[in-house]
Structure 1
Amino acid sequence: MNNKILETVKSFDELSVNPEVFISPSKNFRSRIEFGYKNDSYTMMDGESQIFFSKSNVPIKMISNNMECILHDINCSKTLKNKLFGINYRSNNVTTICTLIYHRPLDEKWLLEIKDIEDKYKNIFFVGRSKGKIYGSSNEYWSNVMLNNEYFWIKQDDESFFQPNFYLMPRMINFICKNLSINYQSSNLLELYCGCGTFTLPLSKYFNFVFATENNRKAISHLHSSIKKNNFKNINIARLSDLETIEAFSGKTFRRLNNFDLKSYKFDTILVDPPRSGLSPESIDFIKKFEQIIYISCNSETFFRDLKLLNKKINKSAIFDQFVNTRHIELIGILND
């Protein structure tokens, strides 16, 4: 084990918990990656130093196998290079979106040249972004994830928040599903910070009913589309922040609930996947009332802080080394009364 995992295991030891550890491949694991562009090269920051390169073995193979050729095609075009400062990739090993980010408006000449490049690549689509506007191909795409020999579809775009390690993401979902401790098939799940539905969709197979909330308008729109495509009938979603969700459970009316009656459901389990800052004091007080808590975190410091504040038994826990060769790590804790 590397040092960051050993340090995290030690933090669990202080809580008398023995976590499972899931290791990622060291290469070709990232489903999304962001580069700068300068001097005809991809760029990234290494501390305070800027590094220049043409190819990386960090992204999944569909990105790694094409990024050098794509860079060459861009460098051969004065139009595509002009005031380009960022190149981002997102891929699910079937479809890849390459987003080019500019400090200038894009025009018909740019569209014609990017179309010529796009025609050279199979299942790679090019999007231009400039001052809030989107040019070129659609920036939306579908990913399918298999759980227990069954596929489900998730709609995303080039800016969606999505678990970045395509190798470990299904293992995270499976870890949660196999360690649910209550009679979940007759229980209801509340999910905060649901994003585009990475956990919402598969977990709906394991609960009687799921109510999921998210503050991002586009993520909620994508999740609506995913629910419809998967033909799931037991999910209701609303565009609410964590604090608005708490207010809704306290009786405050929101038009965004579309007349959904929260009082007609009893929620035994709550799943939270908060930002790096962790849970607010109001969220802690609300969440600790649930019989079962599924806590997903990308920040070990706030994760262990919040576990102590929630003051529940840690039934199962896991460490996922999603971010190989960095100090970052992903954690899951399943808590019960």
Structure 2
Amino acid sequence: MNCKYFGKCGACVVYDGGYEYQLSLKVELNKDRFRPFYGGNISVFKSPDSNYRSRSEFKIWHMDDEIHYAMNNIDKNGVVLIDECPQVSRPIYVLMPKLLKAIKDNNIDFKLFGVDFLSSNSKEIVVSLLYHRSLDAAWKEIATKIAAELEIYIIGRSRGQKVVAGQDYITEILKINGSEFRFNYIENSFTQPNSKVNEQMISWALENLSDTDSDLLELYCGAGNFTIPFAKEFRKVLATEISKSSINAAKTNMGLNSVENIEFVRMSVEEFVQALDGVREFNRMKDIDISSYGINTIFVDPPRSGMDEATCNFASRYENILYISCNPETLARDLAILCKTHVVNDLALFDQFPYTHHAEMGVKLSKKG
């Protein structure tokens, strides 16, 4: 990727030597990090080297009578004004200058401080315009006109206010192992930022699933990014997630994919373990017959903080563990517990965030002996 803001913009901090070199640094770092747990080769899944981000956020900077996109400076001292970003998906890249011009021409830039983009592989785009002022009917009328002209959806946000011009979601189509899966991605909710790497990540996970004649338990299921493809392989899936909006989105995505063999439970991992062990009874579990499940495999995709010791010990009960991590440091910490009972069979690196130090990791573990 060639970017005229390398060395200035803080979005990319590892850029010398090009894409292959920055990726090699991540691979070597994580070979060393995970050597106590795994001596084999790391499976490496590359990103496109440009136009890979389907979700992006920019500041809006007002200067004289003009507005500009802006990012934090690489030294975190002020901002750098930009007029393009080769990180973002091609539809977002093309839209950026058109959107800025439309905002200015239609005089809806007053107290605008940020723009968020969310795009799909089918080129749908939701744009969120962030304001330090309340938005009225006149604003919505103008935003609706701009949305129609640019063939996008626009959301206006200010404190305590959300104004929708069109709809607040896109429908993403992921192609995985010859099959297509559809997901509604809602504005201002978590989605995987790199759709091509996400497809590779799900494919890797599917290939590493074990004992698919039984049932699967998934913790931290989110909106069903992994859950729904997994459901095609298992008899039944029991999935937990603490976020109510994520559970609702996951149920919608079940319908989009004609999947019926998933039961979602809105509970924290701690609550779920208590329910499973009979320590406490929860209303949210009253319609779920735990005794009907035969679970040998557990899948976890925790937040950056990883899993706590109690959750690691709970996961260790199962024959097979599949772990996706967005933070290699906490993954290494958790493996120190998991590898007391399990052995690592495969380790993968997914380059979700090129030109940064971040890497997504995947680990397949099976019980010793």
Q: TM-score per shorter chain, which class?
A: over 0.9
Matched, 1:263 2:291: yes
Matches within 5 A, 1:271-310: 271-310=299-338
Matched, 1:6 2:34: no
Aligned to 1:240: 267
What is the Cα-based RMSD across aligned positions, in Å? Answer: 1.4
Aligned-partner Cα distance in 2 for 1:141–1:76: 26
Matched, 1:228 2:251: no
Aligned-partner Cα distance in 1 for 2:286–2:58: 41
Aligned to 2:182: 153
Aligned to 2:204: 175
SS of residue matched to 1:66:
helix
Mapped contact 2:325–2:361 kept (Cα < 8 A): yes
Aligned to 2:244: 217
Mapped contact 1:317–1:332 kept (Cα < 8 A): yes
Per-residue CA deviations over 1:250-284 (Å, capped at 9, x if unaligned) read: 22322223511223212111111111111112111
Deviation at 1:208?
A: 1.1
Aligned to 1:27: 50
Aligned to 1:59: 88
Given candidates 97, 121, 130, the residue that maps to 2:158 is 130
Aligned-partner Cα distance in 2 for 1:90–1:169: 15
Aligned-partner Cα distance in 2 for 1:216–1:54: 36
Name the amino acid aligned to 1:19. I
Aligned-partner Cα distance in 2 for 1:197–1:258: 22
- Which blocks of at least 5 consecutive residues in structure 2 are unaligned? 1-20
Mapped contact 2:297–2:318 kept (Cα < 8 A): yes
Q: Percent identity?
A: 34
Per-residue CA deviations over 1:40-69 (Å, capped at 9, x if unaligned) read: 111211341311112211111111111111
Deviation at 1:235?
A: 0.6
TM-score, normalised with respect to structure 1: 0.95
Aligned-partner Cα distance in 2 for 1:37–1:260: 48
Deviation at 1:239?
A: 1.0
Matches within 5 A, 1:181-200: 182-184=210-212, 186-200=213-227
TM-score, normalised with respect to structure 2: 0.87
Matched, 1:335 2:365: yes
Aligned-partner Cα distance in 1 for 2:318–2:128: 41
- Which blocks of at least 5 consecutive residues in structure 1 are unaligned? none
Name the amino acid aligned to 1:241. S
Matches within 5 A, 1:35-54: 35-39=58-62, 40-45=67-72, 46-49=74-77, 50-54=79-83
Aligned-partner Cα distance in 2 for 1:289–1:47: 46
Aligned-partner Cα distance in 1 for 2:160–2:246: 17
SS of residue matched to 2:184:
strand
Aligned to 1:143: 172
Given candidates 137, 148, 155, the residue that maps to 1:108 is 137
Aligned to 1:89: 117
Aligned to 1:17: 40
Deviation at 1:220?
A: 0.6
Aligned-partner Cα distance in 2 for 1:91–1:83: 25
Aligned-partner Cα distance in 1 for 2:256–2:171: 10
Aligned to 2:344: 314
Aligned-partner Cα distance in 1 for 2:100–2:338: 49
Aligned-partner Cα distance in 2 for 1:103–1:246: 43
Aligned-partner Cα distance in 1 for 2:28–2:201: 20
Deviation at 1:17?
A: 3.2
Aligned to 2:15: none
Mapped contact 1:54–1:71 kept (Cα < 8 A): no
Mapped contact 1:62–1:93 kept (Cα < 8 A): no
Mapped contact 1:17–1:314 kept (Cα < 8 A): no
Aligned-partner Cα distance in 1 for 2:137–2:115: 20
Deviation at 1:120?
A: 1.2
Matched, 1:206 2:263: no
Matched, 1:249 2:276: yes
